[in-house]
Amino acid sequence: MQQVHLGIIGGGTVGGGVFEALQRNGALLASRLGAAVTVQRIAVRDLKKSRATKIPKALLTADWREVVFDPQVELVAELIGGTTVAREAILAALKLGKPVITANKALLSAHGEELFAAAKKYGTNLYYEASVCGGIPIIKALREGFVGNRINALYGIVNGTCNYILTRMKLEGADFATVLADAQRLGYAETPPDLDIDGHDAAHKTGILASLAHGFWIKPKKIHVEGIRQVSALDIKFAGELGYTIKLLGTVKKLDAGCRVQVSVYPTLVPNNHVLASVNGVFNAVFVRGDVVGDSLFYGRGAGKDATASAVLSDIGDAVLDLKSGAKNRLPAFTPHECSGAVAPIDEVVSKYFVRLNVVDKPGVLARIATIFGQSDIGISSVIQPEGHEGASVPLIFMLHDATNGAAKQALAKIAKLPAVKGKPVMFRVESFE
């Protein structure tokens, strides 16, 4: 049987998971591919470190170049993360005509176009299934399964750490810091975790999905991002009373018949009767609306050793089949299509809103706030004010009808200046999935 020699850069959560999975399922993979994958070399940073996954010492090196430039290595997996060494190593491998697999969404987000161009130039390929939603084969679905569809909308719970935190905050009333520490211990969170909780990891993934769906590469600075730090137990509670669950949602929506799209990441109120509201814990889900297929849902583990290793194995499978057949560009890393495209500025995006204010409970306050919304042509669909004591501070919750982000922001800025309004108003979008 043909042998394919794999070099892995990174022996941490994902690299260790891939090594383990190859030990466990290598024979099965070989029988399916008609070629056996042999791990030739694994680069790590610290040779002395004790590892959750036992890797034979003879395979280890502390120099990634010994992986990439090893003449036996035909296929390279970059699993170290970051955007400097990883970029250098991938470019070096591609330059040698070696196909590369990466799980590195931060790198793709920042330098995708450069890496795809290098793969094309040197007649090889770059595979990146593990970069979005761990074990869910969403990249394959968009590139292959839905090749005949226009993607009118895509909504993703794409960050396991945030979903894990929001779920435990909702179900247990647990506090943010404790749950974040658990997510780090379980190997879900990025280092540093700010990448997760401030929404940037989700933005990297949403940008990759949006680019594949719409055929033009979307740069991270074009994506409007808000993380989950500002989601409080109070917001979760009131959203629940109104029939919603708060999720960090990546949203990609075609806004008109042209190529204008919304690409954003923000905490979103999801109706409890929508399937995405029940996606709990570290699980990810992507809801895709294609113009031919209609609605479909992808669900699975979006982070962690085994789920991510499964996606890397899928790329190993594709790369091995391409190597075997010599069809290096059967499916190029990225192909622009149809639209030259533009991401709409967030202020032009229309949405419904949940607004939480902290106000002094006295006559006329509600009327003054309602007047400002009215003057901005924003309709109120419901109001909650828990019974309080006159003169004391109470939460005041509004659900607002459709308005542009710009109009809602301006109205809130005016409301925030009212003497009876204490602290910063909180505003989240509400998604109706229509």
CA dist., res. 40 & res. 67, Å (int): 8
Quote the CA–CA distance of 344 and 223 in Å, as a whole number: 9
Q: For tokens 């306050």, what's the residue?
A: 365
CA–CA distance, 54 with 242 (Å, rounded to integer)? 50
- DSSP-assigned beta bridge partners for residue 294: 290
Please report whether residue 130 would count as binding ligand NAP according to CB under 6 A.
yes
> Taking CB under 6 A as the rule, does residue 80 contact ligand NAP?
yes
Choosing from 112, 134, 199, 250, the residue that interacts with ligand HSE (CB under 6 A) is: 134
Given the complex with ligand NAP, which of 41 and 105 has the nearer CB atom? 105
From the list ligand HSE, ligand NAP, none, partner contacted by residue 79 (C-beta under 5 to 8 A by kind)? ligand NAP
Q: Is 59 in the site for ligand NAP (CB under 6 A)?
A: no
**Interface positions, 284-343, toward ligand HSE (CB under 6 A):** 302-303
User: Which residues lie below 8 Å from residue 141, measured CB to CB, with a gap of 6+?
Assistant: 288, 298
Binders of ligand HSE among residues 135 to 164 (CB under 6 A) are: 159-161
Non-local (6+) Cβ contacts of 381 within 8 A are 352, 399, 400, 401
Question: What mask of x and - would describe binding to ligand NAP in positions 172 to 191, judged by CB under 6 A?
Answer: ---------------xx-x-
Q: Token pair for residue 25?
A: 């399922």
Sequence letter at residue 350: V
**Strand pairing of 294-301 and 350-360?**
unpaired
Q: State yes or no: residue 104 binds ligand HSE (CB under 6 A).
A: no
According to the binding rule CB under 6 A, does residue 206 interact with ligand HSE?
no
Quote the least distance from Cβ 40 to ligand NAP, whole Å.
15
List residues bridging with 382 in a β-sheet: 399
Write each residue from 179 to 198 as x if it is in contact with ligand HSE (CB under 6 A), else as -, in one continuous string: ---------xxx-----x--
222 as an active site residue: the answer is no
One-letter amino acid at 56 equals P
Angle at 29 between CA 27 and CA 31, to 5 degrees: 70
Catalytic entry in 98, 205, 247, 253: 205
The binding site for ligand HSE (CB under 6 A) comprises: 134, 159-161, 188-190, 196, 201, 302-303
List, by residue number, the catalytic residues.
Answer: 205
The binding site for ligand NAP (CB under 6 A) comprises: 9-15, 43-46, 49, 64, 79-81, 85, 103-105, 130, 134, 187-188, 190, 303-304, 308
